[in-house]
Structure 1
Amino acid sequence: MLDNNDVLKLARNAVEKMFLEKGREFTFPFDLIWQYTEDESQIPSTARPHQVKRLLSEEYIEKTGGITRALSSKRAGSATPEYRFGRALRDKLLKFIVVENLPTLDETNIFPIIFLQKKDWDDFGYRTAYEATLAISPQKSVSLGDIKILIGNTPSEQSKLPDTFFSMHSHKFCSLGQSIEYYKNVAALDSDIRNPRCQNSCRVIR
């Protein structure tokens, strides 16, 4: 049985897939998202409504203020809020994903992505160490180096770092690269990665 976090991951992936297929100006009812999952039937109907607020808060989607028609079999034709893609996708904000191991990438991913690979370093319960890798395309990745990210002020906060995020403004956090090479690698990034639209997101790697 999928839990709410599993369903959120599926919803994120579905929105990204729809964005790549439909383009940034596309508008839609929320229930269309589930048609872009690999197996819509595996997603409990009770878990679906919870994802609206979560995707809104992550700026994956936003309301247009309009009304459209639902598409799901149970609600087909009924009035429902209209959505569009949020600024995280429309403005192509730099995305961070926390992983155990680096995944295999393909053209269905939206780039750039920074993967934060968990490390075993433990400082009296504070597990804050990651290795940062920037994926620019399926064929091109750049190792930035080690970084420590702390959220809050209690041990084991690593588990509270969102698994996917674009900005850390809503969290109390600090970060520190672990070598001069790390900062040299960040400084050497192309301007289209480090331009102003990424400023809010990139602050976590500086």
Structure 2
Amino acid sequence: MDLQILPLAITMMVGPQIMSAIIFVTTPRAVRVSSAFLLGVAVATTAGVAITRGLAALLGGAVDFGSSSDQGSAGKIIQYVLVGLLLFAAVKNYVTRATAEPPKWLGTLMTADPRRALKTGLLVILLMPSDIVIMLTVGSHLEQSDTGFGGAVPFIAATVLVAALPLLAYLIMGERAKRAMPKVREWVNTHSWLVNIIACLIFIALIL
């Protein structure tokens, strides 16, 4: 897999995904709960990329994705459509910023046990439209470059690493991280619209 796909791992975790990871390190059983969440993210990302790689292979027989340098290829047209949708989402987030609120289910994660954290890790990847789009992009890229599933391993590893950043900070910084994480959580909570816009712009930049 070429390096232009790896940064998509950052976008995979922007939004409620990284917010969940931050919340879990502020729970009483931070390490156990966060580890279960990371396992869920790893399993979901692996399964998601495997499915999208398979779908791209099936469609590859009916649709010619074309060369990445061909501006009129089906692959490029799909990318342009994605850019248009992302621009629309970014504008919508800005217009509705005054009333934007994070998902209510995030507030219930403070009392999550490892089983709930595992389920959350699975669902925030498999059910988030932005992550589905990213995994479809990765799957089609693998098909377009005639790369096997092994080529997705760096992307999967990078996604899990980004998800693990709050836990790593917690383990390395100790008490300082414990004091800082609630403040980070509150900032992300009140600026969810900005986080979503940044995610859209990063994705657009990576596509173009």
The verdict on a shared fold, with TM-score over 0.5 as the criterion, is no
The two structures have a TM-score, normalised by structure 2, of 0.23
More helix by share: 2
The two structures have a TM-score, normalised by structure 1, of 0.23
**Which of 1 and 2 has higher RCO (CA within 8 Å, sep 6+)?**
2
More strand by share: 1
